[in-house]
Amino acid sequence: MEALVEHKVKLLSEVRDVLTKDLGILESEISMDCDLLKDLGMDSLDLADLVFRLEVRFTIRIKDEDMVDIKTVGDIVEYLENVVKPGS
């Protein structure tokens, strides 16, 4: 159980890192329930950039149809929990 929590915390940290360093979003604006479009002001190009950067960082492929259900930072973390193995 503790390993799963650590994995989730690590994934959130990685997502925050991409959002702040690569996309210029202030860390103080980022929380698990932040809506990517409404709260963080991202547009479709930002979302495409985010997907690309996450794919590179985690060596995964995020399908377009999977992005339909991703609305918040928490949704990203939850998605990554299902596709990124702990320790990756």
Residues noted as catalytic:
43
Spell out a b/e string for 32-41, using b for 16 or more CB atoms within 10 Å of the CB, else e: eebebeeebe
| DSSP-assigned beta bridge partners for residue 72 | 35
d(CA 16, CA 27) in angstroms, rounded, equals 7
Closest CA relative to residue 60, chosen from 36, 33, 79, 73? 79
